[in-house]
Structure 1
Amino acid sequence: MNTASPRPQRLVIGISGASGAIYGVRLLELLRDTPIETHLVVSKSALITLSHETGLSWSQLKPMATVCYSNQDIGAAVASGSFKTMGMIVAPCSVRTMSEIASGVTSTLLTRAADVILKERRRLVLMVRETPLHRNHLRTMTELAELGAIIAPPVPAFYAKPASLAEMVDHTLGRVLDLLDIELGVVRRWRETPEDLPTLDEVEMTIRER
């Protein structure tokens, strides 16, 4: 008889110092009322970005997660491959964080946790937030992709016709959660509501009118 227990529904969430702290905050909000445990690690620079972009402090962010860790706590549960998780999302992911993960020389819990996800062959999604990209950025992304990471820059989907920045953020995060087979109903999927989408004739007419 197979008595193996199912993998716990735990997701590691990393927030680094890149612009776009709202992605990490909103991700925690979306997952808060689900059975999924969120295990949060935030870099020091992320706290600065968080305060500047959202007005939130660390004390306000902590209650949004199931478990929080200090970025200096290299002995935390998420630093070990024996601690089973669904994977990890870094939202947003700075170039420095991306580069440290790619090198394997991890100096913080955030990058160590990501390295663990890679070595255990779990799903690692990096919402890299930088533009334009130079050659080394692209090479680092390629190296990470070859290691098994998924590079998912927060690119808006205009076909969904977002009416607000909040809708744009939710759609982007919904597509990221798709990568871990997590469905929260925040994605307006292409052609699932065809009545809301223009026909080819309507598109051609609009082009002619312009």
Structure 2
Amino acid sequence: MVSSSRPAADTRPPRRLIVGITGATGVIYGVRLLQLLRDMPGVETHLMISDAGVLNLHQELEMRRKQVEALAHVVHNVRDIGAAIASGSFQSDGMIIAPCSMKTLASVANGLSDNLITRAADVVLKERRRLVLMVRETPFNLAHLRNMTSVTEMGGVIFPPLPGFYHRPQSIAEMVDHTLGRVLDLFAIQHTLTPRWNGLKAD
């Protein structure tokens, strides 16, 4: 019998990540995240963009909805609360809302599920999967802080996209990639977006 040298087909199901883009400043994080995940084999993205998120795409990046939707593997209408990702039976590795508005944060914190983004987030929490909210506002008022505490107590991760400077970034793009590298670490997704910290340099 002659053995074949052809590698066996990869039958593992794809890793599914749900991505929400809402109406806070910083849509570059959501768009760049989709670009990065699109090029990663074995990762399937499910995208929703709120109406305010669409406005910010145009304001901050001069991009149209369809341009961003083309970066995702599956696109869901934010009003379609009957979509697959609205059910706990939909298998995913978790969800990232990038950026996350204070309105979306409040809806998640209080379990309102008033659109598909917040419903999907609610499902991720109840199924004990990873939810990362890249919240964008400054300064925070007490309601914002209390909502962040509530989400944290439910198992979510509050991840304000604050840039690091210890790696001496030379551009906004490097700062964005460094932040998203930290987000991908939370999902154990391998990347080479930024060098790892090896301790302070000696004089």
Shift of 1:94: 0.4
Per-residue CA distance 1:145-183 (angstroms, 9 max, x = gap): 000000000010100111100000000000011111112
- Indicate whether 1:175 and 2:178 are aligned: no
Distance (Å, rounded) in 2 between the aligned partners of 1:67 and 1:159? 36
Partner of 2:17: 11
TM-score calculated relative to the size of structure 1:
0.88
Spell out the pairing of 1:15-34 with structure 2 (5 A cutoff).
15-34=21-40
SS in 2 for 1:39: strand
Shift of 1:189: 1.4
Distance (Å, rounded) in 2 between the aligned partners of 1:79 and 1:12? 11
Identify unmatched segments of 5+ residues in structure 1.
202-210
- Indicate whether 1:107 and 2:110 are aligned: no
- Aligned residues of 1:7 and 1:86 also touching (Cα < 8 A): no
Spell out the pairing of 1:30-45 with structure 2 (5 A cutoff).
30-34=36-40, 35-45=42-52
Spell out the pairing of 1:1-210 with structure 2 (5 A cutoff).
8-34=14-40, 35-191=42-198, 198-199=201-202, 201=203
- Aligned residues of 1:174 and 1:186 also touching (Cα < 8 A): yes
Identify unmatched segments of 5+ residues in structure 2.
1-10
User: When the two structures are aligned, how many residues end up with a matched partner?
Assistant: 192
Per-residue CA distance 1:90-125 (angstroms, 9 max, x = gap): 000000000001110111001000000000000000
- Higher helix fraction (1 or 2): 1
**What value does the CA root-mean-square deviation take over the aligned residues?**
1.3
Paired-residue identity, %: 55
Shift of 1:198: 3.4
Distance (Å, rounded) in 1 between the aligned partners of 2:150 and 2:25? 23
Distance (Å, rounded) in 2 between the aligned partners of 1:67 and 1:8? 13
Distance (Å, rounded) in 2 between the aligned partners of 1:6 and 1:84? 13
Partner of 1:207: none
Shift of 1:6: 6.3
Shift of 1:8: 4.1
Q: Which amino acid aligns with 1:23?
A: Y
- Aligned residues of 1:21 and 1:91 also touching (Cα < 8 A): yes
